[in-house]
């Protein structure tokens, strides 16, 4: 447990604890925090938007305005359900991560590699969280601009007041503007925090897996028969060769175990969060497309243009941040094969060569984070999603003109 209080994982632990996803919390904290976040997303975001869509189903302009944050509420709720229903899997992943740190702490160079990848995960988490919370707070303050201006420099009539998103709360909007705006912001922050938590947790674990592959590659690159010499003054020549053979064989056995353990780690991560990211990407395309449409159409409304432009930019950054670790995982798993090729395998004893061949054959298949058992998370997927967003954007703009 001390590892998660260190600077590398403390931020991630805090995010999981806030939303009730930390597996070492008490049952009471689980219940209270999960209730707060799920009701916040459902009551203050999803239901008001759903009611507004049902009442104005034929208003394409209004539907386009609601769509980005309506899809965001679905993404947040689905990720919350996946996170809360897989607490045991999360606990196993954290225990495996802790076990890896204990194993790598025996060799300074390997521990340094793991620390570097953990540091990258922390940096991404902090920047990601800063953008999410800063964006949500800016949207809230922008909506407050009109009532504040009415107080500072009142006009004959009240300025036009803009909510974060169109929603029906069954109360008069003009009389309860600040209350409704705060409820919308609360619902938005609940969804945003759950999305942020699961995304950064996934990124942190994938980067740890990349670090483990980097350690394995480093071990294979150092694979030389001269590193396993036995003191011949103390042993006969024949016994020396046998002892050396055993040392090489044991070293390769440990490499294979590390490779297999890391493959199982990524497979567990895949099976735990694959469905959540499939839903995320499916609705994320609609978020980006609808936001781009509203950005283009809101020529005379600078506040709306800034808001929807910010949503589009944030969503694009999110998809890129989720795709990049998947690409790094593929690259690092492929590097294991290259490291084995570049080692001085030709100097090894025969049975050690056969053991290395098993590792090389398994490393021919790259490790991937597969979304919904359909496509791998990588940079190519990011490019495909961007093209799809532009296609949907064009179709929605054509629908608006008609």
Rounded distance, CA 307 to CA 303, Å? 6
Q: Where are the domains of the chain?
A: 2-401
Q: Which range among 120-124, 143-147, 294-298 shows the weakest confidence by mean pLDDT? A: 143-147
Report pLDDT digits (tens) over 54-83.
888 877 778 888 888 888 889 999 999 999
Report pLDDT digits (tens) over 291-323.
888 887 777 777 778 888 888 888 888 888 888
Calculate the average pLDDT of the chain.
83
Rounded distance, CA 393 to CA 292, Å? 7
Rounded distance, CA 58 to CA 173, Å? 22
Cβ distance 181 to 167 under 8 Å? no
Q: Average of pLDDT values for 267-282?
A: 89
- Quote the pLDDT of residue 173: 62
Residue-wise DSSP of 116-182: HHHHHHHHHHHHHHHHHHHHHHHHHHHHTHHHHHHHHS--SSPPPP--SS----SS-TTTTHHHHHH
Structure confidence at residue 158 as a pLDDT band (50, 70, 90):
low
Structure confidence at residue 232 as a pLDDT band (50, 70, 90):
very low
Q: Average of pLDDT values for 75-101?
A: 91
Q: Is the pLDDT of residue 356 over 60?
A: yes
């Amino acid at each position: 447990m001390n590892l998660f209080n260190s600077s590398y994982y403390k931020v991630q632990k805090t995010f999981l604890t806030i939303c009730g996803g930390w597996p070492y919390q008490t049952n009471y904290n689980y219940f209270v925090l999960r209730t707060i976040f799920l009701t916040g997303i459902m009551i203050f975001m999803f239901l008001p938007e759903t009611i507004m869509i049902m009442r104005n189903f034929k208003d394409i302009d209004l539907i386009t305005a609601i769509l980005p944050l309506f899809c965001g509420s679905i993404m947040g709720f689905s990720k919350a359900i996946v996170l809360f229903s897989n607490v045991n899997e999360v606990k196993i992943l954290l225990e495996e991560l802790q076990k890896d740190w204990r194993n790598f702490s025996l060799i300074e160079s390997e521990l340094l590699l793991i620390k570097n990848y953990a540091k990258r995960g922390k940096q991404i988490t902090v920047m990601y969280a800063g953008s999410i919370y800063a964006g949500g707070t800016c949207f809230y303050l922008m909506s407050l601009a009109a009532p504040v201006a009415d107080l500072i420099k009142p006009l004959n009539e009240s300025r036009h007041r803009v909510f974060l998103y169109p929603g029906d709360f069954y109360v008069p909007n003009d009389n309860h503007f600040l209350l409704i705006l705060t409820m919308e912001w609360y619902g938005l922050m609940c969804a945003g925090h759950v999305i942020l938590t699961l995304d950064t947790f996934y990124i942190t674990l994938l980067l740890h897996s990349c670090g483990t592959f980097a350690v394995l590659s480093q071990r294979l690159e150092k694979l030389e028969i001269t590193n396993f010499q036995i003191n011949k003054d103390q042993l006969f020549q024949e016994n020396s060769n046998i002892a050396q053979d055993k040392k090489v064989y044991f070293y390769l056995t440990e490499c294979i175990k590390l490779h297999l353990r890391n493959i199982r780690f990524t497979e567990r991560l895949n099976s735990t969060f694959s469905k959540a990211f499939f839903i995320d990407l499916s609705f994320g395309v609609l978020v980006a497309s609808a936001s781009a449409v509203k950005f283009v159409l809101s020529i005379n409304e600078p506040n709306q243009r800034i808001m929807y432009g910010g949503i589009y930019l944030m969503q694009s950054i999110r998809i890129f941040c989720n795709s990049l670790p998947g690409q790094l995982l593929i690259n690092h798993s492929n590097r294991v094969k290259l490291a084995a090729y570049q080692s001085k395998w030709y100097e090894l004893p025969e049975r050690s060569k056969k053991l290395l061949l098993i590792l090389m054959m398994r490393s021919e298949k790259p490790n991937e984070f597969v979304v919904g058992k359909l496509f791998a998370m990588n940079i190519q997927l990011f490019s495909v999603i961007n093209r799809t967003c532009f296609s949907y954007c064009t179709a929605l703009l054509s629908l608006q003109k008609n």
